[in-house]
């Protein structure tokens, strides 16, 4: 199945950033699969993994007005930003592949 993208390495980050540069998006940010809806918990990915790689824009995540609990990736430079989950924008999904012998 598909889920919002999880970026866990510089290689994944570079691939996604290059793909975004090839596409002309009308929005500045796209949702990623991360949130911190439980303030006492550390920010995690949608699959439950903790962040091992991060690419936040300068000064982010800043939790502005304690409402920015979701994360987006900027389409113009690949940096990450925390954003209110109520914000309407596009998203990037990824598919998992299962290989069988």
Q: Return the CATH fold of 2-95.
A: Mannose-Binding Protein A; Chain A (3.10.100)
Return the domain boundaries, the chain: 2-95
Give first-to-last CA distance, the chain, whole Å. Answer: 20
Quickly count: other Cβ atoms within 10 Å of residue 51's Cβ: 16
Residue 65 carries which DSSP code? G
Write the pLDDT tens digit of every residue in 20-75. Answer: 989 988 889 999 999 887 766 678 898 889 888 999 999 999 988 778 999 999 99
Q: Read off the pLDDT band of 99 (50, 70, 90).
A: confident
Q: Chain-centre distance of CA 54, in angstroms?
A: 10
């Amino acid at each position: 199945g598909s889920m919002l993208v999880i970026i866990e390495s510089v290689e994944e980050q570079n691939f996604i950033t290059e793909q975004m540069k090839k596409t002309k998006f009308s929005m500045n940010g796209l949702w990623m699969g991360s949130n911190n809806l439980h303030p006492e918990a550390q920010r995690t990915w949608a699959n439950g993994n903790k962040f091992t790689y991060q690419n936040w824009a300068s000064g982010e995540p800043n939790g502005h007005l304690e409402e920015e609990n979701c994360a987006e990736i900027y389409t113009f430079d690949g940096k990450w930003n925390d954003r209110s989950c109520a914000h309407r924008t596009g998203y990037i999904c990824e598919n998992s592949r299962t290989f069988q012998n």
